Amino acid sequence: MDSRFKVGGLEFEWELDKGYFGFDGQDAVLFWISSAMKTFFDTIEEISGEEASHLVFETTGFRQGLVVGENFEKMKNLDVEEAAQMITKTYISAGWGSCEVRNLDFTTKSVVIHIKDSWEYKVNRAQNKKESGPFLAAHYAGVFSGLFETNIWYRVVQDQLKGNEFSIIEYFPSDITATDNIHALARRKESLQIEHLEEIVKQKTKELRELVNQLSSPIIPVHEGIVVIPLIGKFDEERSENLMVKTLTSLPQYNADFLIFDMTGIENNIDTHTVNLIKKVGSAASLSGTQTVLVGVSAKLGIFIAQSGIDFTGFEFFQTLQHGIHHALAQAGKATL
């Protein structure tokens, strides 16, 4: 059964055997606003997230409106105001809510519209939103961009969803575009991802440093009253601080009479900072009665230490770790290992 009639000068047509619904001579479709459309909006927001879905609605609305505005602009028998009135009349007939065009100024290419009880307002209300979505506001920006043949953007002055009688939206020429907003969102997401990755790297670096500090220069109690610390790699400020604190807090724990620094692992990283560090730790240890012994001192290390001008008076030097331990045992009056 076919049916056709006009409302407000616009034609509606049904061909039920074909499942066809026509509005103003074109294919159309009907949806329940507070159920089907709400579910549609909810699903997009669930999948895309709040920020991205806002941009999806805004961009879609703008681009749809641009198509409408460009089509009406091609109708040369209409001026902009007539086209705008015809468009809003069409939307009202289609159930888009009440829309009044005000303060349309072709010279400044600006306009103000009042929207009341729109389908988007009803969807947002069903979603328990606190403010209206961007679809219709951006849609009319697209419409007027097409009519004015220049890029138009919008500003929401009054929002019906916030308890006002209707929404008021101002439109004006602007450099802001939906495409720019897409790119801006992509850049923000990239920036957030980079920040996230930097934070991960920072955390992993911290964990690695902590692990290095735990593993590097371990304090090894080789015999009662004797501890050995193998020095490995290069000592920056953080490692130096860690070595100083860890050594001086651990010596009383082991009742250490002898502190043996094994310098075999720093031959290729020796510098004045490291030599001075060893001197400071050894001198501080002596204040609690612990004698410092340096072992693994190669000819290269010996020359560097001598040329550094740092006074190691009171320190004992041995070529190998075994010699250093034997010395400590002998000094303590104990049998050698």
Angle at 204 between CA 198 and CA 208, to 5 degrees: 140
| Burial (CB count <10 Å: 0-12, 13-18, 19+), residue 32 | exposed
pLDDT at 80: 82
Answer yes or no: are the C-beta atoms of 115 and 136 closer than 8 Å: yes
**Residues carrying CATH 3.30.750.24, the chain:** 217-331
Which tens digits make up the pLDDT trace of 164-175? Answer: 999 999 999 998
Which tens digits make up the pLDDT trace of 179-229? Answer: 877 777 667 766 777 777 778 878 887 777 777 666 667 888 998 899 999
In this structure, what token pair is assigned to residue 24?
A: 């103003």
% of residues, the chain, pLDDT over 70: 93
Within 10 angstroms of residue 105's Cβ, the number of other Cβ atoms is: 12
pLDDT at 108: 94
The pLDDT-based confidence of 59 (bands split at 50, 70, 90) is very high
pLDDT at 185: 66
pLDDT at 84: 84
125 or 82: which leads in pLDDT: 125
263 or 202: which leads in pLDDT: 263
pLDDT at 115: 95
What is the model's pTM? 0.59
pLDDT at 227: 93
3-state secondary structure the chain: CEEEEEECCEEEEEECCCCEEEECCEECCCCCHHHHHHHHHHHHHHHHCHHHHHHHHHHHHHHHHHHHHHHHHCCCCCCHHHHHHHHHHHHHHCCCCEEEEEEEECCCCEEEEEEECCHHHHHHHHCCCCCCCCHHHHHHHHHHHHHHCCCEEEEEEECHHHCCCCEEEEEEECCCCHHHHHHHHHHHHHHHHHHHHHHHHHHHHHHHHHHHHHHCCCCEEEECCEEEEEEECCCCHHHHHHHHHHHHHHCCCCCCCEEEEEEEECHHHCCHHHHHHHHHHHHHHHCCCCEEEEECCCHHHHHHHHHHCCCCCCCEEECCHHHHHHHHHHHCCCCCC
Q: What is the mean pLDDT of residues 4-26?
A: 83
Within 10 angstroms of residue 266's Cβ, the number of other Cβ atoms is: 22
Q: What is the mean pLDDT of residues 237-258?
A: 89
The CATH code of domain 217-331 reads: 3.30.750.24
The pLDDT-based confidence of 75 (bands split at 50, 70, 90) is low
**Residues carrying CATH 3.30.1380.20, the chain:** 31-176
Which tens digits make up the pLDDT trace of 94-153? Answer: 889 999 999 999 899 999 999 999 999 999 999 999 999 999 999 999 999 999 999 999
pLDDT at 178: 80
List the single range of 16-25, 71-80, 125-134, 238-247 with lowest mean pLDDT. 71-80
pLDDT at 181: 76
Q: How far apart are CA 79 and CA 72, in angstroms?
A: 9
Q: Is the pLDDT of residue 337 over 60?
A: no
Residues 6+ apart with CB under 8 A from 152: 109, 141, 142, 144, 145, 171, 172, 173, 174
Q: Is the pLDDT of residue 1 over 70?
A: no
List the single range of 64-73, 106-115, 247-256 with lowest mean pLDDT. 64-73
pLDDT at 236: 84
Q: How far apart are CA 108 and CA 152, in angstroms?
A: 11
In this structure, what token pair is assigned to residue 67?
A: 């198509």
- Using the structure block, give the residue that is written with the tokens 């450099």: 175
Q: Is the pLDDT of residue 336 over 60?
A: no
Which tens digits make up the pLDDT trace of 271-312? Answer: 899 999 999 999 999 998 999 999 988 888 888 888 888 888
Within 10 angstroms of residue 322's Cβ, the number of other Cβ atoms is: 12
Q: Is the pLDDT of residue 45 over 60?
A: yes
Assign a CATH topology to domain 31-176. Answer: Muramoyl-pentapeptide Carboxypeptidase; domain 2 (3.30.1380)
% of residues, the chain, pLDDT over 90: 42
Residues 6+ apart with CB under 8 A from 2: 13, 14, 15, 16, 17
pLDDT at 212: 66
pLDDT at 235: 86
Q: What is the mean pLDDT of residues 66-84?
A: 78
pLDDT at 238: 82
Round the average pLDDT of the chain to a whole number and report it.
87
In total, the chain counts a number of residues equal to: 337
In this structure, what token pair is assigned to residue 102?
A: 């005000």
